[in-house]
Amino acid sequence: MIVLGDSLTEGYGVSKDSAFPAILEEKIKASGKNWTVVNAGVTGSTTASAVSRLKWLLRAKPDAVLVILGGNDGLRGIKVVESQKNLSAAIEMIQKEKKKVILGGLYMPPNYGLEYTAQFRKMYADLAKKYSVPLIPFILEKVAGDPNFNQSDGIHPNEKGHKIIAETIFSSLKEYL
């Protein structure tokens, strides 16, 4: 499984072994499935880079791709319609290769305005419905906004936060593995 993401996936500020993709792989293997989880997180990535990155990543012939992009789009105030268009193209590319797609949702903080945050949140549900793909509604559930689980920047999870994210994702994914 490839996890296509940004700094949250990459594990900004923590070791690669402490980032959620590595922990997720441990959880999957402990459940009796011999899956490898590839961390394809790149700090600063937006949805605009998804298709070009996938052209390279899909050469590895993964069984599944977990797409967790959009956070940097939102933080930069990119129009939701643009992010949705980019994510649609990525999902279509993965599905064309007959690979399983799982979508990981993100939320924007309330200071971006009620309308924008609502549209942003809805984007993931709309995409999941349109393409009939599983959705993890909010990968940062129980982590976002809690200083116990985030680094001092308040954005990037610490090691404890990554453990919670891995559990959230594994709980949602285990039926699809």
**Cα–Cα distance, 166 to 177 (Å, whole number):** 15
Q: Are 94 and 132 in contact (CB under 8 A)?
A: no
Catalytic member of 6, 73, 156, 162: 156
To the query of whether residue 52 is one of the catalytic residues in this protein, the response is no
Residue 53, class by beta-carbon neighbours within 10 Å (0-12 exposed, 13-18 middle, 19+ buried)? middle
Sequence-separated (6 or more) residues with CB below 8 Å from residue 14:
157, 158, 159, 162
**Cα–Cα distance, 31 to 19 (Å, whole number):** 19
Distances (CA, A) of 162 to 15, 45, 123, 130, 138: 11, 19, 24, 29, 14
To the query of whether residue 153 is one of the catalytic residues in this protein, the response is yes
Classified as helix, coil or strand, 67 is strand
To the query of whether residue 18 is one of the catalytic residues in this protein, the response is no
Catalytic member of 7, 18, 45, 83: 7
Q: How far is CA 114 from the centre of its chain?
A: 23
Q: What are the residue numbers of the active site?
A: 7, 153, 156
